[in-house]
Chains A and B, each alone.
Chain A
């Protein structure tokens, strides 16, 4: 598939998805407002904790807000874009995955494009606001602003990879087990705070199994000058991309395993 054709298809799929969702404008508006309020109150709770306790392992509120903002924005974008993978069990159950396999396009591409969900726009806005506030409080400017952006893109790739793996699991389990939430929503929740506060086993999961630390803690420390600023820690968010590539390979193993229930 040529790049030109791919981009054209992405554009068509995206416009379709947006159009169909924006048919319900009030609904979209209320949902955004609701999520904005919910996530806003969540951050208010973090604020209350900092005002009560002062700091968290040497991290002040603005520094923590940098982590929080980056992770929230990454997750919001990944969740919206990976909606097709997130709800993949529906396609397996209804048998509509068979139709996807018949089309002359890579299945992963079709599922990726099948829906871009606007429902989580509120979370994205909230994350962006927190991130902006953190950058302003920490007096980040010029090239220093590139690092949060680099972290966010690495985070998007990483969470996207997690959703691909979740969908791959569905080839074997049919239903998405609730426990997978540990790696999606659990990942966001844990990485909103510096990962260094967690017990060893938890830190290991989110460093080696799912490299969340390399899109949040490690580059953030390099940026804030509280840890190693070596080239390696600055390049760490690239691990998110490697994770996505690895996930897509595992996905192919899953597809090879797939047997349709249809006739």
Chain B
């Protein structure tokens, strides 16, 4: 167990240092995301000007929401790991399976780094820019800020579980056309990325909050805006963790099953 943890830590560290190299890509990425943020902020401002709203979010809250989504976009489980995809395609996966370490843990560690490093590299400058240039609403108090940071950590665990599940699904589908396309579409709509869940009809909003996707965007956002009181925080934050655990379990089982029936050809 201890050696697995050490191996996973080393893999995550190496992956993180690699991702850190792409600084100019991150810079262009930030500029692009600022553009999206401004466009989306303009759209919502225009909608709010229509006046007819019983919205559970005020306009500054919605705009804060938009900037936070842009800042944490790298948390979205949009794609499979291209290197794992290549391994599955080329057969190099057999070496991966031979390593004396728990494969799921290694892949999960890769995914953790893959989400955490780009989020830090892009998110922090973007949030600073939004504070300085677009009067981003600060967190609703110190407690909300602490809850938000903790909730982002839960999001990271959940996002890595999603991504690893996508990677494992490659062992079944090879090409990566089905699940790998459908899940990001569902994640975008159901996490609150396309539209804050609070702006949806009430019953739909409550239903979507029970699904695993809400933990990606909606939960940290509610913490930031102070819409989760300290009393209900425990249940609201438990849900993403429970979902992460369930997805990790599912991913593990599917990986085990796939490795058992895997046929390696060639000599």
Binding site for B on A (CB under 8 A): 24, 26-27, 30-31, 33-35, 37-38, 41-42, 44-45, 48-49, 51-57, 177-179, 181-182, 186, 189-190, 193, 197-199, 202
Contacts and interface: CB of A to CB of B under 8 A. Distances in A.
A57 B25 contact: no
Contacts of A197: 42-43, 45-46
B172 interface: no
Contact of A198 (B32, B42, B178): B42
Nearest to A36: B185
A48 B200 contact: yes
A37 B53 contact: no
Contacts of B184: 38
A34 B179 CA distance: 9
B207 interface: no
14 contacts: A26-B177, A41-B188, A41-B194, A45-B194, A48-B199, A53-B48, A177-B28, A179-B32, A181-B32, A182-B32, A186-B32, A189-B36, A197-B43, A199-B42
A32 to B, nearest CB: 10
Contacts of B52: 53-55
B246 interface: no
Interface residues of B, number: 35
B25 to A, nearest CB: 7
B29 A178 contact: yes
B36 A34 contact: no
B47 interface: yes
Nearest to B55: A52
Contacts of B194: 41-42, 45
Contact of A34 (B25, B32, B46, B178): B178
A41 B191 CA distance: 12
Contacts of B195: 45, 48-49
A56 B47 CA distance: 5
A89 to B, nearest CB: 14
B234 interface: no
B21 interface: no
Given A34-B178, A48-B199, A197-B43, 20 more contacts: A26-B177, A31-B177, A35-B181, A37-B182, A37-B185, A38-B181, A38-B184, A38-B185, A41-B194, A45-B194, A48-B200, A51-B201, A55-B52, A56-B50, A178-B28, A178-B29, A179-B32, A186-B32, A197-B42, A198-B39
Contacts of A34: 177-178, 181-182, 185
B235 interface: no
A35 B184 CA distance: 10
Contacts of A48: 195, 199-201
B217 to A, nearest CB: 13
Contact of A52 (B28, B32, B199): B199
A54 B55 CA distance: 12
Contacts of A198: 39, 42
B31 interface: yes
